[in-house]
Structure 1
Amino acid sequence: MTFEEAIAYTETLLSRSDLNDAQLQAEITNLVKTANGARGFFVCFLTGEWELADNPSPAIIQALHAVPNAIAELLVKNLAMSTAMAITHRRNGDEAQAQSSDRVAKRTALLIEKVDLSEVQAIATQMQDSAKTNAGEYAAFLEKWGYDEEQKQAIAKVLNK
């Protein structure tokens, strides 16, 4: 499944009202077991108009436990990226986009809290260290996206929580 197909599949999946919790959990578990599936799921889930994203069900939380390392890294990266992008949008005078990024950050932080994976803390600490020192495990990730000092400070602060 491509990244784009995973986004479309997630949209279809989350729009269905005929699935029970066990079916939803099974579908999301299968989806997040691949890199493209997990990335596509989060893009759709975190940015879409889904009530479930603001109040994730136990089925979704359990599905995210299927691949803890990959999910933990995606959650931390999503929190970092949405935090940094909110700053970029505000600098560009685009408050609507900034609020969308804030919503993604809020939803991601909620998921981090609810999935409660020990892997998240380890990765968040590494990302925070890289944001503070411009070195370490996630320095290349931060550099790739061109984050400046203000953005890296905001990332380190949000990951401190």
Structure 2
Amino acid sequence: MNLIASPEISFEEAIDLTAQFINTIPELSDSEKSSIVSALVLTENGARGFFVTYLTSENEVIDRTDLSIIEGLKKSPEIVSELLVKNVAMSTAMGITHTRNNNLEMAQKSARVTQRSLNFIQQLSLAEISIKIQQLISSIECKEGLYQQFLTKWGYDEEQKQAIIDIFNK
């Protein structure tokens, strides 16, 4: 698979490339997997496209630990940590919304994204992730801070915010 890392990669291109990547994972060497993932997560658009596709994929290959993918993610600790923390928050909150709306299939999909994101967080074990988790929790508890704009943008209610705190404190 030929992937050229470009600062101009669009979100849509990253989604397409990630879908291709997922379908070819079994055929790729560890160094190819690491290099493709690191190229994708060099930019925010690339990383967003990677995570939205990878974390929601129905392909069972996603749920197998692949250290070469972890190594690729480690190449962009700031972008990756920010997006993983937000993915946990968003999927946790959406799980509650889907449950309230009696959409159990979507609630299960949200729970799967939360779990996959938490698995990445655990495997990456980056200091940046711990800092961002604490900043998010602080923003929820103090109703101000680095993540307040994010929380306000998505309009999370108290139950959702508490669930976000709880999922990170497990």
Q: TM-score range by the shorter chain?
A: over 0.9
User: Which AA in structure 1 matches 2:36?
Assistant: E
Q: Tell me what 1:130 maps to.
A: 139
Over the aligned positions, Cα root-mean-square deviation in angstroms equals: 1.0
Asked if residue 101 in structure 1 is aligned to residue 110 in structure 2, the reply is yes
Instruction: Please give the TM-score of this superposition, normalised by the length of structure 2.
Output: 0.91
Q: Secondary structure in 2 aligned to 1:47?
A: coil
- The two structures have a TM-score, normalised by structure 1, of 0.96
- 1:19, distance to aligned residue in structure 2 (A): 1.5
In structure 1, runs of 5+ residues without a counterpart are none
1:60-95 residue CA offsets vs partner (Å, 9 max, x unmatched): 000011010111111100000000000000011100
Mapping of residues 1-161 of structure 1, within 5 Å: 1-16=9-24, 17-161=26-170
3-state SS of 2:86 partner = helix
- Give the deviation of 1:122 after TM superposition: 0.3
Following the alignment from structure 1 to structure 2, what is the Cα–Cα distance between the partners of residues 116 and 123? 12
For residues 39-66 of structure 1, the C-alpha deviation after alignment (integer angstroms, 9 at most, x for no partner) is 0000011000233432230100000110
The offset of 1:4, in angstroms, is 1.1
Please report how far the alpha carbon of residue 24 of structure 1 lies from its aligned counterpart in structure 2 after TM superposition: 1.0
- Tell me which residue corresponds to 2:6: none
Alpha-carbon distance in structure 2 between the residues aligned to 1:140 and 1:55: 34
Give distance in 1, aligned partners of 2:39 and 2:61. Answer: 18
Q: Which runs of 5+ in 2 are unaligned?
A: 1-8
Q: What one-letter code is carried by the residue in structure 1 that aligns with 2:80? A: I
C-alpha distance in 2 between matches for 1:29 and 1:45:
14
Secondary structure at the counterpart of residue 27 of structure 2: coil
Equivalenced residue count is 161
